[in-house]
């Protein structure tokens, strides 16, 4: 005889969530910025087990719960494939000189008269080209902080410009892990997600640049740009640089505009990067090859390694090495591990009814699109505060609100954009969040000091809420609520 299923209480719903918050906080305390490299995954799995036990207490069978976990994980497999392709693309674009060329030309934007705005733009260009705010801050960001010190300019404002630019580039880059994670959780297409984010992201970034220009007018110091020139010189001596190395980027952007699915588009970009490395970076490839191999075999092995394990450069500058030595499918395995664990946790909460019970309490009284977007963004901020992890700030609210957005006739693109507006951008503003702790460690400025100057990170969520309440760029679903959305304007 089948067990009777009992409706979970609010206490049932809160127990695994509170337990997870406690474990995640403990992981950050014990492991600091390494908490996302294993400890958080264990916390998620323990939370999954706890939720499963509560579900079985209420009459659910283990086979049903296990089926829910498998279904939840399967929903993320598309994103996992994209992440693996992105890892390969980063590796070959580093090797081919595509990313170094972008960095070189990005550094050309630096003008002492507009240092803060230029800092923001440089970090945006670099982060967009490599898809990593952390790597951008730890390399170019550190160099720019040194230049600011030589100019006797504000460290807090400079750090705010670095964080603003790095997170702008990270947010709109198809190479970014969070940019792939948000549409995976919400169930939207990667490139559609990026295009839809531009409506809040571009205006916010323009406002931030204007504010940095205004702040720069009060600075009268002109200092040596020796550090930046050194980096440009090292890039020029280490790679053959030229406009033609940007062809892989143009091809990828063209495929995106043509609406080719992300996985094949990124894979083509990765393979093209390997071809470009062979054609234009022969000296770099030869230097990395095993001297015991023939030229053909050595070249093949270097490009092949870039696809699965990235590249490792040895220039005279350690900061430049840290910037360029990355990529490969293997670099994405930890993120995929985290996604699988997070999706398992959310799937069990959903299968046994705990997610629905928690959402009903949070969404009580929510009626308009503005209510849904604002509560999603606030939930993302709250998750960043209590779990101290930006990935959780995307996954948990995404799983919680996905069904509710559809019930209210709102396209899931509204959800995926809100997840990034609230989850990705607020993570470096919290000192105990892994992102905030990391930024403080590399920039040597406390988040409570630079938070007043991270204009982009603050303006973007506020603008998203304003848009939602005014009905600007809110996509609605056609009955019976399929994906053919229409825009509502006031």
Question: Which helix (H) or strand (E) segment is 488 a member of?
Answer: strand 486-488
How many CA atoms lie within 13 Å of 196's alpha carbon, on the beta-carbon side? Answer: 29
Q: Judge whether 202 lies within some domain.
A: yes
Q: Is the pLDDT of residue 489 over 60?
A: no
Q: Judge whether 378 lies within some domain.
A: no
* Helix, strand, coil percentages for the chain (3-state, nearest 5): 75, 0, 20
The pLDDT tens digits for 327-353 are 889 988 887 887 788 888 878 888 888
What would the mean pLDDT of 30-37 be, rounded to a whole number? 77
The pLDDT tens digits for 234-284 are 888 889 999 899 899 888 878 876 778 878 988 999 999 999 999 999 999
Give the chain's mean pLDDT. 85
Tokens of 274: 């390997």
CA gap 272, 268 in Å, rounded: 6
Query: What is the pLDDT confidence band of residue 483, given thresholds at 50, 70 and 90?
Result: very low
- What DSSP assignment string belongs to 170-202? HHH-TT-HHHHHHHHHHT--HHHHHHHHHHHHH
CA gap 253, 453 in Å, rounded: 31
Q: Structurally, how many domains does the chain consist of? A: 1
Q: Is the pLDDT of residue 3 over 70?
A: no
- What DSSP assignment string belongs to 222-267? ----HHHHHHHHHHHHHS---GGGGHHHHHHHHHHHTT--HHHHHH
CA gap 460, 200 in Å, rounded: 6
The pLDDT tens digits for 152-192 are 778 999 999 999 999 999 999 988 889 999 999 998 999 99
Q: In this structure, are residues 387 and 22 in contact, taking their beta carbons and an 8 Å threshold?
A: no
Higher pLDDT, 314 or 471: 471
Distance of CA 470 to the CA centre of its chain: 27
Q: Judge whether 98 lies within some domain.
A: yes
Higher pLDDT, 375 or 147: 375
pLDDT for the residue 479: 66
Q: Which single residue is written with the structure tokens 């905030």? A: 436
Helix residue ranges per DSSP H, 409-481: 412-419, 434-443, 447-450, 455-470
Q: Judge whether 109 lies within some domain.
A: yes
Q: Judge whether 263 lies within some domain.
A: yes
The pLDDT tens digits for 6-19 are 889 889 988 998 89
pLDDT for the residue 485: 44
CA gap 26, 30 in Å, rounded: 6
Residue 334: CB atoms within 10 A of its CB come to 14
What would the mean pLDDT of 100-108 be, rounded to a whole number? 79
Q: Judge whether 208 lies within some domain.
A: yes
pLDDT for the residue 103: 79
Query: What is the pLDDT confidence band of residue 220, given thresholds at 50, 70 and 90?
Result: low
User: Phi and psi (nearest 5°) for 168?
Assistant: -65, -50
Query: What is the pLDDT confidence band of residue 40, given thresholds at 50, 70 and 90?
Result: confident
Tokens of 444: 């040597």
What would the mean pLDDT of 295-301 be, rounded to a whole number? 93
> Under 8 Å CB-to-CB from 369, ≥6 apart: which residues?
408, 410, 414, 468, 469, 471, 474, 476, 488
Q: Is the pLDDT of residue 222 over 50?
A: no
Peptide bond into 480 cis (omega under 30): yes
Full residue range of the structural domain in which residue 89 is found: 80-331
Q: What is the largest CA-CA distance in the chain?
A: 81
Query: What is the pLDDT confidence band of residue 33, given thresholds at 50, 70 and 90?
Result: low
Q: Is the pLDDT of residue 224 over 80?
A: no
Q: Is the pLDDT of residue 1 over 50?
A: no
Higher pLDDT, 1 or 129: 129
CA gap 91, 305 in Å, rounded: 8
Q: Is the pLDDT of residue 45 over 90?
A: yes
CA gap 43, 222 in Å, rounded: 50
Q: Judge whether 44 lies within some domain.
A: no
pLDDT for the residue 387: 66
Higher pLDDT, 333 or 204: 204
Q: Judge whether 153 lies within some domain.
A: yes
User: Phi and psi (nearest 5°) for 287?
Assistant: -65, -30
């Amino acid at each position: 005889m089948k067990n009777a299923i009992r409706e979970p209480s609010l206490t049932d719903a809160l127990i695994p969530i509170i337990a997870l918050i406690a474990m995640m906080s403990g992981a950050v305390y014990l492991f600091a910025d390494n908490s996302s490299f294993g400890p958080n995954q264990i916390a998620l799995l323990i939370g999954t087990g706890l939720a499963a036990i509560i579900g079985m207490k209420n009459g659910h069978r283990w086979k049903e719960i296990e089926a829910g976990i498998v279904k939840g994980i399967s929903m993320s497999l598309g994103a996992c494939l994209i992440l693996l392709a992105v890892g390969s693309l980063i590796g070959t674009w580093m090797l081919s000189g595509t990313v170094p060329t972008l960095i070189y030309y990005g550094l050309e934007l630096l003008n002492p008269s507009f240092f803060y705005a230029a800092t923001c733009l440089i970090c945006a260009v670099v982060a967009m080209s490599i898809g990593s705010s952390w790597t951008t801050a730890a390399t170019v960001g550190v160099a720019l902080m040194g230049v600011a010190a030589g100019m006797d300019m504000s460290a807090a404002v400079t750090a705010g410009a670095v964080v603003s630019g790095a997170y702008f580039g990270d947010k709109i880059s198809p190479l970014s892990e969070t940019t792939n994670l948000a549409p995976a959780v919400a169930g939207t297409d990667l490139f559609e997600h990026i295009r839809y984010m531009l409506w809040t992201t571009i205006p916010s970034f323009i406002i931030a640049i204007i504010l940095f220009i205004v702040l720069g007018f009060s600075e009268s110091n002109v200092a040596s740009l020796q550090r930046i020139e050194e980096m440009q010189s090292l890039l020029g001596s280490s790679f053959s640089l030229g406009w033609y190395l940007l062809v892989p980027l143009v091809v990828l952007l063209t495929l995106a505009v043509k609406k080719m699915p992300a996985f094949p588009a990124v894979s083509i970009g990765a393979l093209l990067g390997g071809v470009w490395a062979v054609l234009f970076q022969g000296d770099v490839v030869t230097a990395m090859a095993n001297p015991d191999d023939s030229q053909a075999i050595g070249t093949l092995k270097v490009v092949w390694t870039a696809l699965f394990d990235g590249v490792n450069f040895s220039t005279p500058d350690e900061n430049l090495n840290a910037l360029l030595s990355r990529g490969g499918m293997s670099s994405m395995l930890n993120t995929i591990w985290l996604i699988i664990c997070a999706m398992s946790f959310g799937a069990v909460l959903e299968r046994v009814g705990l997610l629905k019970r928690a959402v009903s309490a949070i969404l009580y009284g929510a009626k308009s699109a503005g209510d849904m977007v604002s509560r999603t963004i606030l939930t993302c901020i709250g998750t960043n505060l209590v779990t101290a992890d930006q990935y959780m700030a995307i996954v948990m609210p995404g799983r919680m609100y996905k069904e509710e957005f559809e019930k209210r006739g709102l396209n899931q693109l509204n959800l995926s954009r809100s997840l990034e507006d609230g989850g990705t951008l607020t993570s470096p503003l919290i000192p105990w969040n892994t992102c905030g702790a990391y930024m403080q460690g590399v920039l040597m400025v406390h988040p409570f000091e630079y938070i007043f100057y991270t204009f982009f990170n603050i303006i973007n969520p506020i603008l998203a809420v304003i848009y939602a309440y005014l009905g600007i760029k809110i996509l609605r679903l056609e009955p019976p609520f399929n994906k053919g959305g229409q825009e509502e304007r006031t």
